């Protein structure tokens, strides 16, 4: 029999003898028993990201992350979608339906326990398996959603493994839906399910369970439009003895969302282009109490430099936090979740630095169920690049295949600087069909004033900074996909000096090729994103941040910017690691010296030129340098 209980808590599904109710079985002789672990089994995916913890899970391409979640029970989820571990759509994908990501446990001993005492287990020990689940795609405005929801023909199933019979039995399943439907019906963001383990076939030393995602491709006319599609977020997987169908709350206080940047708009930027006015005014947290009653919690955060020294700290003190299962409310005390920021970074100009922001919330009496979800961190970087994104793509932003179409993202410079490369992350579409040539442009900017009328006919103006004139155009470039969330670097033909003010990086497909750029949907750079259709640029209102990062060095001092002459001076290899050979023998080299400068103009190496001999550059770090022999200049790239 199956009963459904809906109360003021999360929705709970109770399935008695579920293995016989649903009845779907399958054989899998390829799965072999590993070293078994003992109950309890618990993972809330809060303490790590990437591949699931190998001490608890077998590799099935699911991804532990803090990006696809939408108000989860605790910070961090594991997501099952239609991408393999390399971030590519499965080769057997189709529009009708196919098996995609799998999340499978290691072997679990359900025949006995050894703590607090050694004991043989049976159905009378009341073993329950529980988990929270949410379809991806979030909710709210379409332009603010995170990813996409599974369609009605998609599904996810849960199976239990009977080792003696070597069969997997489906004990639960769910059809594709969207979060709006779930919330409108049950007023929760995640559904919780509890399933009793009663069949004697499951009481052995090799019990396992697995989730399997069955997805499908959108029926699009072009493969280049097909990329990752809806999946499922799973959280707080828990299996133990002495539970019952009412065991749906946990003495656990946790962060819900990951820590974020203390800087407005940016996740990283060069120190010389940072000013105190960029600091956020208020820091927001989302904190949850999963217990059935009010608890007391203590919140604080600290900021430490790259040597581990704490340079700033804040204490919000102790506050009561209401029960989320009873009220569906998070912490509301402002000193814990919305406090004013009275701190500003002071990074040293011209040097790389980073600061670790650590937030901690603890239960007052120290009886928290899982301590790892009590801490969340963000690393604030001041290096040589701008970044609006956090390094993970929850979706993609596309550039239409039209000669008149282009996409641009703006960046502010507080002073003149030298741009030498751009990092871009391209999503992997079906069969990599969107990885077609494109052009990279750099634009300066201008103010664009538009006049509008409201419903009563009253006029008002809107001023935007938009792309103006092209100051750099690349040769034809090719998108490159390496692995999930890994950027590809595009060097400019030569370093480009950009004046103070806003500049834009723009991309344009070559001919009829559609482009899909990684899009971080947990940060918002919409105010700086523009698209061109025809002659005019217009602001893009999609919430998110394109994964495009410009890399800079200060304007070179004492070096002729106009003489990057590659015809009279050869260096090889270039890029180089430890040793280079310089070919300059045709131009009279009796008294010439080899001088290498960094892009700030500092002289790093000064040696007499010896034709065709090796020059040791092992002391130089990765980056771009200027090499001079006599009157000739060449760009040298170090990439170790």
> For 38-48, what is each residue's pLDDT tens digit?
999 999 999 99
Torsion angles phi and psi, residue 68, rounded to 5: -85, -10
Q: What does the DSSP assignment read for 505-546?
A: EEEEESTT--EEEEEETTS--GGGEEEEESS-EEE---SSEE
Q: Are strands 375-382 and 353-363 parallel, antiparallel or unpaired?
A: antiparallel
**CA–CA gap between residue 73 and residue 77 (Å, rounded):** 9
Cβ atoms within 10 Å, residue 151: 18
Share of the chain above pLDDT 70, in %: 86
Cβ atoms within 10 Å, residue 305: 15
> For 350-390, what is each residue's pLDDT tens digit?
789 999 999 999 998 778 889 999 999 999 999 999 999 99
**CA–CA gap between residue 397 and residue 385 (Å, rounded):** 21
Q: Answer whether 49's CB lies under 8 Å from 64's CB.
A: yes
Q: Answer whether 302's CB lies under 8 Å from 380's CB.
A: no
Torsion of CA 451, 453, 457, 460, to 10 degrees: -60
Which run of H or of E encompasses 296?
A: strand 295-304
Q: pLDDT at position 225, please?
A: 55
Q: Where are the domains of the chain?
A: 2-240, 253-382, 395-553, 570-638
Q: pLDDT at position 220, please?
A: 63
Protein fold of 253-382: Immunoglobulin-like (2.60.40)
Cβ atoms within 10 Å, residue 56: 14
Asked, colleague to colleague, whether 395-553 and 570-638 share their fold, the answer is no
Q: Which residues have a Cβ under 8 Å from the Cβ of 246 and sit 6 or more positions away? A: none
> What pTM value is reported for the model?
0.80
> For 100-152, what is each residue's pLDDT tens digit?
999 999 999 999 998 888 999 999 999 999 999 999 999 988 888 888 899 99
What CATH number does the domain located at 570-638 have? 2.60.40
> For 272-327, what is each residue's pLDDT tens digit?
999 999 999 999 999 999 999 999 999 999 999 988 999 999 999 999 999 999 99
**CA–CA gap between residue 477 and residue 510 (Å, rounded):** 9
* Three-state SS at 193: strand
> Six-digit token pair at 73?
């029970």
Q: Which residues have a Cβ under 8 Å from the Cβ of 334 and sit 6 or more positions away? A: none
**CA–CA gap between residue 20 and residue 15 (Å, rounded):** 10
8-state DSSP, 423:
E
CA 371, chain centre distance (Å): 23
Protein fold of 395-553: Jelly Rolls (2.60.120)
Q: Answer whether 457's CB lies under 8 Å from 586's CB.
A: no
Cβ atoms within 10 Å, residue 228: 24
Protein fold of 2-240: Jelly Rolls (2.60.120)
Average pLDDT by consecutive 10-residue portion of the chain (640 residues)? 34 36 42 74 95 91 94 97 86 90 96 90 96 94 87 95 96 96 95 97 96 87 58 97 95 97 97 96 97 96 94 96 96 96 92 94 85 96 96 86 82 95 86 77 90 71 88 90 87 91 93 82 95 87 94 52 45 86 59 80 85 86 83 79
């Amino acid at each position: 029999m199956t009963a459904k209980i809906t109360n003021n808590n999360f929705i709970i599904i109770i399935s008695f003898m579920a293995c016989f109710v649903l009845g779907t079985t399958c054989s899998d002789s390829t799965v072999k028993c590993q070293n078994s672990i003992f109950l309890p089994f618990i993972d809330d995916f809060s303490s790590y990201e990437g591949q699931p913890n190998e001490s608890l899970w077998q590799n099935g391409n699911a991804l532990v992350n803090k990006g696809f979640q939408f108000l989860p029970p605790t910070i961090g989820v594991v997501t099952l979608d239609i991408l393999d571990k390399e971030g590519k759509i499965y080769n057997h994908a189709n529009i009708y339906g196919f098996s995609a990501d799998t999340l499978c446990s290691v072997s679990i001993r359900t025949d006995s326990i050894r703590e607090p005492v050694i004991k043989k287990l049976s159905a009378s020990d009341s073993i329950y398996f529980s988990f929270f689940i949410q379809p991806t795609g979030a909710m709210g405005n379409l332009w603010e959603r995170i990813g996409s929801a599974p369609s009605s023909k998609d599904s996810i199933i849960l199976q239990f493994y009977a080792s003696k019979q070597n069969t997997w039995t489906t004990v639960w399943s769910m059809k594709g839906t969207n979060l709006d439907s779930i919330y409108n019906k049950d007023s929760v963001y995640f559904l919780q399910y509890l399933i009793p383990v009663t069949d004697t076939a499951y009481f052995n030393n090799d019990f396992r369970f697995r989730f399997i995602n069955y997805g499908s491709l959108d029926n699009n006319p072009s493969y280049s439009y097909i990329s990752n599609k809806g999946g499922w977020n799973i959280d707080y997987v828990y299996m133990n003895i002495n539970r019952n169908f009412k065991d749906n709350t946990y003495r656990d206080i946790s962060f819900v969302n990951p820590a974020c940047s203390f800087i407005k708009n940016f996740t990283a930027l060069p120190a010389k282009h940072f000013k105190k006015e960029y600091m956020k005014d208020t820091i927001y947290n989302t904190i949850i109490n999963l217990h059935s009653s009010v608890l007391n919690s203590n919140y604080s955060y600290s900021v430490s430099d790259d040597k581990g020294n704490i340079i700033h700290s804040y204490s919000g003190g102790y506050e009561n936090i209401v029960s989320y299962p009873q009220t569906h409310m998070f912490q509301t005390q402002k000193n814990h979740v919305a406090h004013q920021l009275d701190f500003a970074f002071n990074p040293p100009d011209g040097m790389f630095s980073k600061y670790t922001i650590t937030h901690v919330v603890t239960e007052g009496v120290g009886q928290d169920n899982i301590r790892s979800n009590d801490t969340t961190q963000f690393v604030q970087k001041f290096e040589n690049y701008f970044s609006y994104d956090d390094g993970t793509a929850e979706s993609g932003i596309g550039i239409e295949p039209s000669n008149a179409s282009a996409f641009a993202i703006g960046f502010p410079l507080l002073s003149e600087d030298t741009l030498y490369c751009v990092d871009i992350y391209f999503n992997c579409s079906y069969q990599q069909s969107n990885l077609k040539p494109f052009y990279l442009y750099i634009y300066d900017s201008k103010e664009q004033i538009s006049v509008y009328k409201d419903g009563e006919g009253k006029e008002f103006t809107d001023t935007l900074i938009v792309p103006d004139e092209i100051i750099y155009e690349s040769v034809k470039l090719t998108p490159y996909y390496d692995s999930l969330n890994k950027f590809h670097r595009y060097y400019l033909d030569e370093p480009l000096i950009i004046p103070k003010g806003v500049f834009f990086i723009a991309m344009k497909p070559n001919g009829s090729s559609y482009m899909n750029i990684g899009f971080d949907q947990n940060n918002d750079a919409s105010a700086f994103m523009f698209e061109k259709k025809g002659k005019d640029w217009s602001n893009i209102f999609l919430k998110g941040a394109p994964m495009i990062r410009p890399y800079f060095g200060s304007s070179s001092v004492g070096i002729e910017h106009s003489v990057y002459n590659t015809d009279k001076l050869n260096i090889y290899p270039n890029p180089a690691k430890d040793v280079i050979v310089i070919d300059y023998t045709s131009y009279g080299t009796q008294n010439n010296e080899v001088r290498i400068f960094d892009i700030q103009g500092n002289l790093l190496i000064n040696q007499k030129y010896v034709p065709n001999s090796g020059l040791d550059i092992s002391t130089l770090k990765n980056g771009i340098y200027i090499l001079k022999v006599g009157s000739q200049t060449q760009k040298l790239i170090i990439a170790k």
